[in-house]
Amino acid sequence: MVWDRASIRICEGETVTEDQTPRRQIGRLKLRAIALLAEGGEPFEASVLFHEAVRLERRFVSGEQDPRRLLDSAVERCWCLLEARDPFGARLEWETINQIAVRVPESAAYLSRLGPRFSKEMGDIGIAIIGSPVLMAAKRRPKVVSDDAKERADGVVEVYQLLARWYGAPTLWWMAYRYEYAIHDVSHAWQTLHHAYRLAPETPSYMAMMVQLVPEVLPPDEAKEILERVSRGIENSDPVVVVQYALAELRLLDRNPKAAKPLAELLRVARSCLARADREARPAKFLAATIMLLEARSAGKVPTADILARSGLEDLLPSALQQVGGGPATIEAQLAALAGLELMRNEAYAIQV
């Protein structure tokens, strides 16, 4: 699915017909991206096409054992991501290339053209990050986004300076979203998060935070439409997405009871997801807390922060209790916020090169 912000909706991606073999479709995507750039089209849209080609390429070699074919595919993906202006994604593919290359005697020939270009791109992004004081500081501490208002505002400026060149890096759009949301610029945060999602819709955190924002940025009727579309694929979604979806439906229920899904349906989806999840993992514990919240609401009770302790999230109780005075007014909003913060723990690694 692709989140089409022009009409604020989720729409289906391209349909693959029988005569479109994976290799042919990959080639068509790359040609469309190259043509778009040659014609002076929107570079970001070309990046979206290159990223889609990479995802198809990765699926195309899934299960492949021949190291030469695997190396050829990894080189192709790395090239696409460099063309897409996503150095962070290219770096991950380069690591894959190095792992496979030791099994291919003629690997130097594969890398003769790609290697110098990759090295230059990594050098350029490295220099740019070193010249960004806020982002450098973010790499050295567990909490990426500072509590300092000026540093948050400076962070927005620094990230957009990088995005001017590396506009195809979902990591940078994600960082822009974090800083913009931190300075309460929700409208721009919504747009930048949408850019990250379009480039990497397979990333659960992007989808989860998009869903979290729906009740906050849209009127009930539009929020209902989007959540309805999300619900069509929710059965097999990651637990972090299911948590935010269920909590978004609850917040919509409080604003407009006729617009939200029945509690029984939300419970069914959440329980189904939990049955497949690793119960000891943090996302599953958030899902368990969400189920307890839904059960309390279904029974006509007012849920309280003790669901955190009962679901194995007792370490978050102090944060929830501190929010009672000045934070979200309901446990639903608190749980959504805490689950969102949980997704930010590994941000610092994402901007390293």
pLDDT at 103: 94
Token reading at 338: 């805490």
- 148 pLDDT band, cuts 50/70/90, is confident
Q: Is the pLDDT of residue 30 over 90?
A: yes
pLDDT at 218: 87
In the structure, what pLDDT confidence band is assigned to residue 320 with cuts at 50, 70 and 90? low
Highest mean pLDDT among 54-68, 209-223, 242-256: 54-68
Distances (CA, A) of 80 to 25, 77, 242: 14, 5, 32
Domains delineated in the chain = 2-125 (1.25.40), 131-189 (no CATH), 203-350 (no CATH)
> Which stretches of 256-316 are DSSP H helices?
263-276, 282-298, 306-310
Q: Is the separation of the CB atoms in 89 and 169 below 8 Å?
A: yes
Overall average pLDDT of the 147-166 stretch: 93
349 pLDDT more than 50: no
Q: Mean of the per-residue pLDDT values for the chain?
A: 86
* Least confident interval from 170-179, 234-243, 287-296, 337-346: 337-346
pLDDT in tens, 246-302: 999 998 888 877 777 889 999 999 999 999 999 999 999 999 999 999 999 999 998
User: Would the pLDDT of 51 be above 80?
Assistant: yes
* pLDDT at residue 184 tops 80: yes
pTM (2 d.p.)? 0.86
Q: How far apart are CA 172 and CA 176, in angstroms?
A: 6
At residue 331 the predicted structure's pLDDT band, cuts being 50, 70 and 90, is: confident
* Model confidence at 75: pLDDT above 90: yes
pLDDT value at residue 329:
58
Q: Residue 199 above 60 pLDDT?
A: yes
Dihedral (CA of 235, 239, 241, 245) sign: positive
Give residue 326's pLDDT. 42
Between 11 and 265, the more confident residue is: 265
The H-assigned helical ranges of the chain are: 22-38, 43-60, 67-83, 87-101, 107-111, 114-130, 133-139, 149-163, 170-182, 186-199, 204-217, 220-231, 239-255, 263-276, 282-298, 306-310, 317-326, 331-342, 347-350
For residue 14, the model assigns a pLDDT of 42
Q: According to the model, what pLDDT value does residue 262 have?
A: 87
**Residues ≥6 apart with Cβ < 8 Å to 344:** 144, 145, 178
- Segment 98-121 shows an average pLDDT of 92
Element holding 2 (H helix, E strand): strand 2-4
